[in-house]
Amino acid sequence: MKTTLTLLLALSMTLSAFGTSKNTKDLPTTLPFESTGEGPYFYIDYTNYSSTDDKTFVEFYMQIGYRELQFIKSGDRFQAEYDILFEIFDAKDNLVEQYKNLDHIKVNEFDETIDPKKARISSPGFILQPGTHTLKVSITDLETERTSSIDEKFEALNFEEDALSISEVQLSQKIEYTEESGPYIKNKRYIEPMAVRTFAHGLADINLYFEIYNLVKPGEENSTNYTAQFVIHNDNLEKVADFKRTHKKPGDTAAHSIKLPVDSFFSGKYLLTIRIIDNDTDAVVESTKEFTVVDWPSYLSQASVDYQTDASD
């Protein structure tokens, strides 16, 4: 099943367009990950969430542009095919997860095959033991037989069982409530995957999603509220936003989403910090993530992405 949706693309941006990752382990890497090699160029980003049995659910977002693939004539249409090999190794170099897929894309017009605004995105997810892992992903264009790959370390965060904690922040250009179930839906929210942390003036706003764990349960104390504080700095470390929202606790966990107007930001890189305060205990926890805002020419205002909805485990 494939769904075509509007999404900002930044496939032509260079590595320097993105800042250094500032996750809790301060891994020496750059996000999103970018491929190397002679084959199709692609991006990968990821988000950590708490899972059961003290494990961590890591959701990945993988994006490849149409013009990175070799399309051939197939009847009255054009088709590209590529293999994906997605592997995760633990700190002892043991293979702990693997995902393989043969994907094909069909379009009606040749111009679509070289359109810089079109891309494919998939979102495999895995439940992992907390700790440092190695991600190895390769994409091979079956027509050219050329391969590109990503080989990077990442951290499956450790969400302490009894302590107040927060997931990483997922950035999206579209989050909406839904009663349906299916791909890209978490806690009654449809969240479009995004492999580049980049937003453009005049396009979709900056949507944030995160989860909070181990709040004091409602009824056990007097307040039964939590406060979410949002602090944003620009790349000069100047504070450009600082605001709070207080909510009643739905239970000992909560899912939270908010929309920030993209036109309120100048072009540049930003560091977002979300700080959660349990008002019953004054416990505090926070998470940070970087994003970029750009000015795009008007002809990019209808960028589109194909979502490969059968790519999630």
18-38 per-position pLDDT tens digit? 233 333 333 334 679 999 999
- What is the pTM assigned to this prediction? 0.84
Tokens of 270: 């930003």
From 215, 246, 211, select the one nearest 228 (Cα to Cα): 246
pLDDT greater than 80 at residue 276? yes
Distance separating alpha carbons of residues 115 and 14, to the nearest angstrom? 18
51-105 per-position pLDDT tens digit? 998 999 999 999 999 999 999 999 999 999 999 999 999 999 999 999 999 999 9
pLDDT value of residue 221: 64
From 161, 158, 156, select the one nearest 47 (Cα to Cα): 156
With respect to residue 51, please indicate whether it lies within any of the assigned structural domains.
yes
**Across 4-17, average pLDDT:** 29
**Comparing 44-53, 226-235, 300-309, which segment has the lowest mean pLDDT?**
300-309
With respect to residue 27, please indicate whether it lies within any of the assigned structural domains.
yes
With respect to residue 313, please indicate whether it lies within any of the assigned structural domains.
no
pLDDT value of residue 39: 95
With respect to residue 259, please indicate whether it lies within any of the assigned structural domains.
yes
Q: Please tell me whether residue 151 adopts helix, strand or coil conformation.
A: strand
Total Cβ atoms within 10 A of residue 22:
15
pLDDT greater than 60 at residue 4? no
Q: How many domains would you assign to the chain?
A: 1
Tokens of 34: 């970018």
With respect to residue 168, please indicate whether it lies within any of the assigned structural domains.
yes
Q: Which domain holds residue 181?
A: 2-308
145-156 per-position pLDDT tens digit? 999 999 999 999
Percent of the chain with pLDDT over 70: 84
Q: Residue type at 113?
A: T
With respect to residue 36, please indicate whether it lies within any of the assigned structural domains.
yes
pLDDT greater than 80 at residue 220? no
With respect to residue 143, please indicate whether it lies within any of the assigned structural domains.
yes
pLDDT value of residue 88: 98
From 271, 278, 206, 263, select the one nearest 242 (Cα to Cα): 271
pLDDT greater than 50 at residue 2? no
120-152 per-position pLDDT tens digit? 989 999 999 999 999 999 999 999 999 999 999
Contact between residue 98 and residue 128 where contact means Cβ atoms under 8 Å apart: no
- What's the DSSP call for residue 292? E
pLDDT greater than 50 at residue 45? yes
Distance separating alpha carbons of residues 60 and 149, to the nearest angstrom? 15
